[in-house]
């Protein structure tokens, strides 16, 4: 479910659950965290490119895993450690987004230092449609990138934006005319030829400047509390039954 493809000084990691639009189940997220941890310590790898198989980046978390999970289980969820490990990757990280990058998929793309969107890219945080909220950095990083008004628009309404909008809103660093992958590969190759220690130090400085006040723990607490609500159960049930949910506010 994770394809590792070493290149000349960099590595391409491809999320490969195309039957589920590369939804980030716990096993895939763990494999990704392990790979990034290993590559972060490998002097032969100077940069990493994240991509998705089958025309999509990642269409969110695995709904089947969230459906039966309450706040007690979520508090001990290994996914929290996996996300922390991914965020701690010290080297340049590029994401090539074609197709859907929704929910946890967009949160993963937002961990990248440079995000490239292709013409089919569709990005969003639609968790409130299911009676939950982003819980892996989405509210924090999105707000830092696009500002309060646009973050509220995407998070509260679940709006999905296209590649042109993602570039205009500063979600993406590049917009490709076709697929994001060739452009992202060229960029990652260039990064691998630059001074590695300088890039790592520069990345730390930019992350500190842009994320110093972000509250990842508070976001996660809000997400975990919602897992016990009747609205969360109704939201996922309505999603599976392809109907509009009937919210009760409890």
Q: Is there a catalytic annotation at residue 211?
A: no
Per-residue buried b or exposed e for 18-40, using 16+ beta carbons within 10 Å of the residue's own CB = eebbbbbbeebbbbbbebbeebb
Selecting among 34, 65, 127, 246, the annotated active-site residue is: 127
| Whole-number Å distance between alpha carbons of 126 and 134 | 8
What does DSSP say about strands 93-97 and 114-117: parallel, antiparallel, or unpaired? parallel
**Conformation bin of residue 58: beta by default, left when phi > 0, alpha when psi is -120 to 50:** beta
Give me the catalytic one of 4, 19, 73, 107.
107
107 is catalytic: yes
Q: Length of the chain, please?
A: 250
Active site members: 107, 127
């Amino acid at each position: 479910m994770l394809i590792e493809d070493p290149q000349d000084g960099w590595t391409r990691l491809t999320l490969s659950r195309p039957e589920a639009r590369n939804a980030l189940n716990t096993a895939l997220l763990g494999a990704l965290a392990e790979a990034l941890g290993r590559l972060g310590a490998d002097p032969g790898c100077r940069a990493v490119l994240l991509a998705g198989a089958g025309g999509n980046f990642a269409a969110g978390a695995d709904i089947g895993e969230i459906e039966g999970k309450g706040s007690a289980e979520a508090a001990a969820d290994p996914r929290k450690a996996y996300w922390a490990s991914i965020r701690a990757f010290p080297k340049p990280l590029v994401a090539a987004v074609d197709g859907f990058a929704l929910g946890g998929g967009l949160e993963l793309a937002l961990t990248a230092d440079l995000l490239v969107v292709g013409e089919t890219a569709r990005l969003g945080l639609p968790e409130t449609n299911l009676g939950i909220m982003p819980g892996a950095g989405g509210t924090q990083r999105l707000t830092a990138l696009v500002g309060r008004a646009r973050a509220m628009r995407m998070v509260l309404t679940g709006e999905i934006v296209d590649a042109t909008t993602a570039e205009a809103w500063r979600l993406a660093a590049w917009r490709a005319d076709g697929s994001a992958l060739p452009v992202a590969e060229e960029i990652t190759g260039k990064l691998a030829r630059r001074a590695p220690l300088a890039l790592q130090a520069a990345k730390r400085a930019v992350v500190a400047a842009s994320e110093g006040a972000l509250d990842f723990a508070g976001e996660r607490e809000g997400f975990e509390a919602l897992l016990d609500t009747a609205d969360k159960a109704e939201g996922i049930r309505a999603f599976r039954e392809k109907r509009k949910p009937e919210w009760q506010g409890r």
